[in-house]
Every structure is written in structure tokens, then in C-alpha cells.
Amino acid sequence: MLQFSKWQIGLIASFIALGLYFALPNFFAKDATPWGLPESRVTLGLDLQGGSYLLLQVDTEKVVADRLENIRKDVRSALRGRSADGAARVTFSPPTVSGDTVTVQIRNAGDSAEAEKRLRDLIQPLGGIGSLARNVEVETIEPQTFTLTMTPEAKAYYADNAVADSIEAVRERIDSLGTTEPSIVRQGSDRIVLEVPGDQDSERLKNILNAEGQLSFHMVDSSVPIEEAREILPPGRIILPDVDRGIEIVIEETPEVTGDQITDASSTPNQDSGGFQVNVAFDKNGQRRFFEATRTNVGQLFAIVLDDKIISAPRINEPINSPQMRITGQFSAQEAYDLALLIRAGALPAPLEVLDQRTVSAQLGDDSVRAGSLALIYGFVAVVIFMVLSYGRFGIYADIALISNVILIAGVLSLLGATLTLPGIAGIVLTIGMAVDANVLIFERIREELKAGKGAVAAVQAGYEKALSAIIDANVTTFLAAAIMFYLGSGPVRGFAVTLAIGVISSVFTAFVLTRIFAGGYVLSKRPKELSL
């Protein structure tokens, strides 16, 4: 058990050297990393480098309300259509929504059976075919009156999906900003915690998240004066504000091109008039519809609408049959960039409300780094001195293993591109204590074997063999605790769990394998009659 072949020693040394290789980039600035070293490194969390913190609440009630409105529209469509056997159209009063229920009254008693059949066809399983949960329950409250009530399972399902989709939408918008390792985690049933390290402009983040990002293209109806439209608005028309000119414009309600037909958006300098512009790319269907709109409306104004505001209303000079177009205006570089970001990310699945907004200064982050680093250094030095004073030569072996342990932890965290927070540093400090704890168990066991009269080689071998089960039991339970914290926790709790779990694995390796190489090599080569432990 104490003997290691040369290839085994070489493999262990290579493993530690690999950890050092991945850990080294953390000691250099990003733009000064020497050639040959990897780019991945540990990222400092919000509490260590400052940044923005936002607590968001997803408006799940609006999601449910929108679903009920869709059900109301489905009821109208189902009753208006013809049945498979060609039955006449069902006549009904307009469906109404009250609470979680859509109510519809059939005017002709003879149509009730056909109406019920069509309404029951609207019942759909949640989560795909085979699911036992259903979206609505259809009931007959009077011979000619039916209700479609959204089930509690459906409300929970739609709300849960809205939060999950909102997290992905927020992640897409934040990632597009080019920020480093944002933390986006769910809190409770309808809240999202967003932490963006390094970004000191929380107000800009809030504005980007609050924007719906819904882009559409509409024809302007210049035939209707705005004064008349305010009095009597023609059917199929809406009035929206033009943000550039500070006026209101009448446009067609039905868009010519919608945001889901846009594949990409980017911002570039405007070479014609200065400033910046937004370049928009269409898919094939969007290109076709855009061409048809410009071909049949040459000389007319074309409104570009973002979140119910007209951001530009250019005149169509000629048909445009191109997969790309540009939006020009008085955009600054930041405004054009943010607008392109919103168009790429698309609309949010549900409105978000900012419940808490904080900015952590870089100075406060520096103080946290300094305090955490000092705690790590002081703890490390204290453990090193204690081990040497308590166990002499074997304490030095334990200290070498401890240094290797820290190198391996840093290497793994860098390889994973992990985000290090103050709780993460606490996890490393705790790991340092746990790493020598295994060696303490081994060395104390060796002392007991020496007191029992065994020789140096036999005592060292017995010490490692008999302490192994206790070491494994202690570290397995700690690892399980870290796994549970990672699974149930979020944010900093997960950071602590990650460093603790990595530290448990590396400490067992260095404490039991690395010190055994040194201790075994010493007693087998020197054959000392006594050991000073």
C-alpha cells in the first residue's frame, strides 16, 4: 500500500501540474495572459467585483388572463365554423370572461348538442398527449349556456411555463449585452433574481428588461386626419405616437410584417447621415411580405412600431426585395445597440416588475476580495504552522498536500469558468481545514500503532489502512450535504456548494494519496527505527 511505481507517481504529478496549468491564468490580467495558457478563468461574483442586482416578479396573472382571452377567441372560432358533417353555423351571444371562466350562451336550443360537441373539442391535455391534466372543464349550467373553466392544474402549468420562459428571455437579453457570467435564478414561484457582475448600470438593465421587444411594420393611413381619427377611428385603424417627431399617426392595425419573421438585428454607423442605424434581417416569409408591402404602396409611409410606439416612419420610394432593411433615426451608439438587442431577443412571455434594484460598487467588491483573501491566507498559514508543529516531517508532507489541494481546486474552478463569491471563498477556507483533518486522522492512527509497538513501516501502513474508512465516511456525508445545497439552493449557496464539493474530492485525493507517496517513500527508503509524530 505504501509503494508506488514510477508511472503512478508521474501520473499523479501530471494531474497536479494540469491543475496548476488551468489555475495560472487567474494570476494575470485578461489582456496580459501569457501565450499558451488557457483563456478560461475564475469569474468574480457580484459581491467580489461589484455590479447590478435586480429582483424581478413575473406577472403570471396576466399570463392566465391572456390564456383565458385565447380560450374566449377559440370558443368564437369553434362555434362559427362548420362541423365535420356540414351542420349549419351555431348562433351564439358573444362569450364573456369572468374570473377563470368563459361563459357562452347558445341562441338556438337545437344547436346545443352541436355546440357542446365543439366546445368539448377545445379540451386539451397539458404537457402533451397522454397527460391526465386538462386545460379547461366544460359544463352545462343551463340548457343553452355553457362554461369553460380553466383548471387549477392549467393555471399552475401556464404560470410555471411563463416563469421558465421569462428566465430564458432574460438570459438571452443579458447575454447579448456581453456581460460575464450573469446569475439568473428562480426564487419562489414567480420571482427571478438577476445578478450581473461588473455592470454598474442597473437602470439600463431595468430598461432593457422592461421593454417588451415586440417589433412590427404597418402601413400609415394618411387619408384620415388625426383630428378626425380622435373623434371617430375607422375600423382596422389605430393611433400610435411617433417618438421622433412628437406627434400621433394613424396606422393600419394589421401589421404587414411581424417580429417573428425577423432572424437577426445589429447596429452599425449610418454612413449617409451620421449617427447609428439598426440593420434587420428577414426570413423568407418576412422578405416576401415586406416586398409585397413596398411594391403595392410606393410613395406611402411605412411605420416601424416597437412596443406600441412608432420609432420610424420612412416613405417607400421603390419596391424592396431584399432579406435586409435598415432603420435609421437619431440613434446614439448605445440606443442603436439596445434596440438591436431587443429586436433579436423578441418579446417577453410575461411582463416583469422590478421589486428590488441595487448596485454594488466596485470599491465594495474590492473590500470583499481583500477581506476574503486575507481570511484565506491567514487560515492557510495557521494550518500550515499547526501541522508542522504537531507532526514534524509528516506535517510538512500534509502541507505539501494542502498546497496541491488549493491548486487543484483553483484549476477545476477555472476549467469550469465558475463564478467565485464570498460564500465560495468560505467553502475553500472550510476545505483547507477539512483537507488536513484527513491527515490528522491518519497521523493520529499512526501514533496509536507506534504506541502498540509496531515498527515504522508497519505503523504507517496500518495508519493509512485503518483511517481510510473514517475518512471516506466523513467526506461522503459532506459531499452529500454539498449536493443537497446545490440542488435546493440558489446563487451564493450554490457557489458555496460547488467549491465545497470540489474541495472534498480533491482533499481526499491529496490527503490520502499524495501524503502516502511522501510518507511511504520516506519509511521504505530510510527504514527509521523511530518516527517523531
Q: Across-strand partners of 206?
A: none
**One domain, residues 373 and 521:** yes
> What CATH number has the domain bearing residue 276?
3.30.1360.200
199 within a domain of the structure (yes/no): no
For the chain, the domain total comes to 3
85 plus 29 within the same structural domain:
no
Answer yes or no: do 256 and 332 share one domain: yes
Angstrom distance (rounded) from CA 123 to CA 119: 8
10 and 83 share one domain: no
Amino acid identity of residue 14, one-letter, is S
What pLDDT is attached to residue 20?
A: 92
Are 384 and 428 part of one and the same domain?
Answer: yes
In a domain? residue 174? no
Residue 74 lies in a domain: yes
Helix (H, G, I), strand (E, B) or coil at 271: coil
Assigned domain for 26 exists: yes
DSSP per-residue string spanning 396-408:
HHHHHHHHHHHHH
| Same-domain check for residues 307 and 409 | no
Per-residue pLDDT of the chain (533 residues; tens, 9 = 90+): 677 888 888 999 999 999 999 988 888 877 777 888 887 888 777 777 778 888 999 988 888 888 888 888 888 888 887 554 555 678 899 899 998 999 999 998 888 888 888 899 888 888 654 567 788 899 988 888 999 999 999 899 888 888 888 888 788 777 766 655 677 888 888 999 888 877 667 787 887 777 666 778 899 998 888 888 888 888 889 999 987 788 899 999 888 887 767 778 888 888 777 788 888 888 887 888 888 888 888 889 988 888 788 888 888 888 888 888 887 767 788 878 877 777 776 667 778 888 988 887 766 567 767 777 788 788 888 888 999 999 989 999 999 999 999 899 999 988 887 777 778 888 888 888 777 888 898 999 999 988 888 888 899 989 899 888 888 898 899 999 999 988 887 667 877 888 899 989 998 888 888 999 998 888 888 888 777 77
Q: Give the bridge partners for 419, in sequence order.
A: 43
Only one residue has cell 388625426, namely 226
Question: In terms of domains, do 131 and 269 share one?
Answer: no
Contacts 24+ apart (CB under 8 A), 479-488: 479/504, 479/505
Distance CA 127, CA 342 (A): 29
The rounded distance, in Å, linking the Cα atoms of 211 and 343 is: 10
Please report, for the domain that includes residue 101, its CATH number.
Answer: 3.30.1360
Domain end among 314, 347, 380: 347
Q: How far apart are the first and last CA of the chain?
A: 20
| Domain final residue pick, 132, 155, 178 | 155
Domain that holds residue 145: 60-155
Domain-embedded: residue 169: no
365 lies in a domain?
yes
pLDDT of residue 128: 55
* Alpha carbons 511 and 471: distance in angstroms, whole number: 10
Residues 25 and 116 in one domain: no
* Together in a domain, 295 and 369: no
C-alpha cell, 324: 435586409
Instruction: Check whether residue 286 and residue 385 sit in a common domain.
Output: no
CATH code where residue 451 lies: 1.20.1640.10
In a domain, 260, yes or no: yes
Is 381 within a domain?
yes
Give the whole-angstrom CA distance, residue 269 versus residue 170: 27
DSSP 87: P
Rg (alpha carbons) of the chain, rounded to whole number: 34
Could you give the CA distance from residue 67 to residue 54 in angstroms, rounded to a whole number?
A: 28
The residues, any chain, with a CB within 8 Å of residue 447's CB and separated by 6 or more, are 533
Helix, strand, coil in percent for the chain, rounding step 5: 55, 20, 25
Distance CA 359, CA 374 (A): 25
Of 107, 122, 155, the last residue of a domain is: 155
Task: Write down the pLDDT at residue 30.
Answer: 72
Q: How far apart are CA 305 and CA 240, in angstroms?
A: 9
Length of the chain: 533
Residues 294 and 390 both lie in one domain: no
Element (H, E) at 103: strand 101-105
Helix (H) or strand (E) holding 298: none
DSSP H or E segment with residue 281: strand 276-282
Contact criterion met (CB below 8 Å) for 259 and 343: yes
> Do 300 and 396 share a structural domain?
no
Q: What are phi and psi of 56, to 5 degrees?
A: -110, 145
